[in-house]
Structure 1
């Protein structure tokens, strides 16, 4: 009588193992070799190079083919690329670290710019109430602290724009049966690409594109802070929407234009939220 083979069970869920990994929970079968120093070194190297290649591939496709990563994620082809949220946070981190050299100011709003936004009466009222009995020196000191704090917060709270922009996309495509989560993926890639654009223009051109092309005209705050960002948003939105939602050219032009116009109040809402956070912490 043949000796019955001992079944090897998963240490995590007690499912019978077939191969190196549990087909039920994905836990790897442990062996003594896993604890060798050479194995740890190999694992670190593989993790680093695997992440590095994923990031570079995802970054290149994000920049060169707007909307492509979104479609790939929707279709279930996810292994070759970084997850949308991971890609966004890495690019957001790079954007945050570029504070010292990036002159792009789409999201950063110094106090003088806050007073030019549509909600400026609210800002002015809050400032008047806070500094009713303050000296001019105290006001200037607060403005300095405000601008420094806003410089940091505006670049670190950008994830707040993602669900708001996803809601804008949902308004346009709810009849097509897309889930809100699908629009979140689009919004993450879209916002990440906007951050890349902001870094490229702010770091390498060291000014707004309008200033490079048109000189003195672009010194206007309204041009640098609102008009030029809208043009970039429309350009990125057009290619993203065209690739992701695959509609005709005319419909894509109209929808991307409308999405761009709706992005503006999203930007103003974000600026106001950052203002409140800065106002009470500066």
Structure 2
């Protein structure tokens, strides 16, 4: 930009910062970062210019960063670790924007892969892995703990419903006269039937309340995976990353990629079903499912668990492998091994640990 004489004189004129009282020259305080105040900034024109400028620059920077994070795995992380940050959205800003898109997509489409239903605590156990068979008592303890909280809620709700039934015992027949919740018709039932009706209503209320709460929590709890994933990355590449904060940056960029992948996966499944009534998701798994049957089945089950996990590895492992290659000076076989282990651990954290944590926290908050 060509500076006029007036602009040049103004930029070199000594200024006292109104925020920290620092004396400086230029348009930005070199101590606190406060900009030089001009009364023209109070005009409506300047106000609307700031709004337009924010959204145009914000949108272009975020979209550019998201695209580069998908197209060139590890590039944004590498730039960030080298101190080149102004051109790109920072990790937290990027994660928040993509999270909002993720929340909107899964809510609009109604996808529940990351939203557990009650009973999912019995799946994706640590003891399912051959090397962790010894963890079966731990898995059982977690399941018992969740079921115990559920049973407490169920019994409290059933007792509350029994008190609301306004039952009247017929002295001649020994039956109880109650009003059904689904209609206003009165019914005569025995004591066992009375408890069964109250139990059914209690279970319905539990599932309704659980589904409403866990749906909200599942969209916000996913960020708790970041510290654990960062810790795993730091173990593999502590010499290259040097600081745990650098591992958090890489974990955040990987999580952003994962959320983008899941959004695209949702849309790929949803659009054909919406337009033609065809379940495209099952078509995507058709080439994968035969690998888990026949002679290759035991090997693929040992390496990946199931076709659902393998489908995620097909996207996660290449991103991690390229990112590791770009960031760390390690042999290809080490990067491949690290990408496999990180993918497998991340899958367990996401579908094994996070879902159980969501179920336990949701049931606990319902009391």
Band the TM-score falls in, shorter-chain normalisation: 0.7 to 0.9
Change (3 A) 1:213 1:179: same
> 1:163 matched to which residue of 2?
227
Query: Does 1:112 pair with 2:119?
Result: yes
More strand by share: 2
Q: Does 1:127 align with 2:198?
A: no
CA–CA separation in structure 2 for the residues paired with 1:189 and 1:41? 33
Specify the SS of the correspondent of 2:97: helix
Whole-angstrom CA distance in 1 between matches of 2:118 and 2:287 = 23
Structural RMSD (CA): 2.9
Residue number in structure 2 paired with 1:262: 345
Partner of 2:209: 145
What residue number does 1:24 align with?
Answer: 31
Asked whether the equivalents of residues 27 and 35 of structure 2 are also in contact (C-alpha less than 8 Å), the reply is yes
Q: Report 1:51-66 matches (<5 A).
A: 51-66=58-73
Deviations 1:4-50 (A, max 9, x none): xx953222222223122222222111122222222222222211211
**3-state SS of 1:8 partner:** strand
Distance in 1 (alpha carbons) for counterparts of 2:307 and 2:200: 28
Q: Does 1:212 align with 2:283?
A: yes
Q: Is the 8 A contact 1:131 1:139 kept in 2?
A: yes
Flag the 1:52–1:66 CA change in 2: closer, same or farther, 3 A: same
CA shift at 1:74, angstroms?
0.5
TM-score for both structures, normalised by structure 2: 0.67
2:327 to 226, 244, 259: 244
Contact conserved, 1:9 with 1:16, CA < 8 A, in 2? yes
Instruction: Please say if residues 115 and 124 of structure 1, whose CA atoms lie closer than 8 Å, have aligned partners that are also in contact.
Output: no
Partner of 1:195: 259
Q: Measure, in 2, the Cα distance between the counterparts of 1:252 and 1:216.
A: 26
Q: Does 2:235 match 1:228?
A: no
Q: State the secondary structure of the residue aligned to 1:205.
A: helix
Q: Distance in 2 between matches of 1:125 and 1:216?
A: 41
Contact 2:230 2:247 (C-alpha < 8 Å) held by counterparts: yes
Kindly tell me: are residues 127 and 37 of structure 1, through their superposed partners in 2, closer, same or farther at Cα, counting changes over 3 Å?
A: closer
What is the CA distance between 1:213 and its match in structure 2? Answer: 2.5
- Give aligned pairs, total: 275
Q: CA deviation at 1:54?
A: 0.7
Gap change, CA 1:102 and 1:68, over 3 Å in 2: farther
Contact 2:73 2:322 in 1 (8 A): yes
What do the CA deviations read for 1:55-76 (whole angstroms, capped 9, x no partner)? 1111111121121111111111
| Aligned: 1:136 with 2:159 | no
**Alpha-carbon offset, residue 252 of structure 1:** 0.9
Consecutive unaligned residues of structure 1, counting only runs of 5 or more, are: 1-5
Which 10-residue stretch deviates more, 148-157 or 162-171?
Answer: 148-157
The runs of 5 or more residues in structure 2 that have no matched partner are 1-12, 126-138, 159-198, 274-278, 290-304
Describe the SS at the equivalent of 1:22: coil
Tell me if structure 2 keeps the 8 A contact 1:67–1:244. Answer: yes
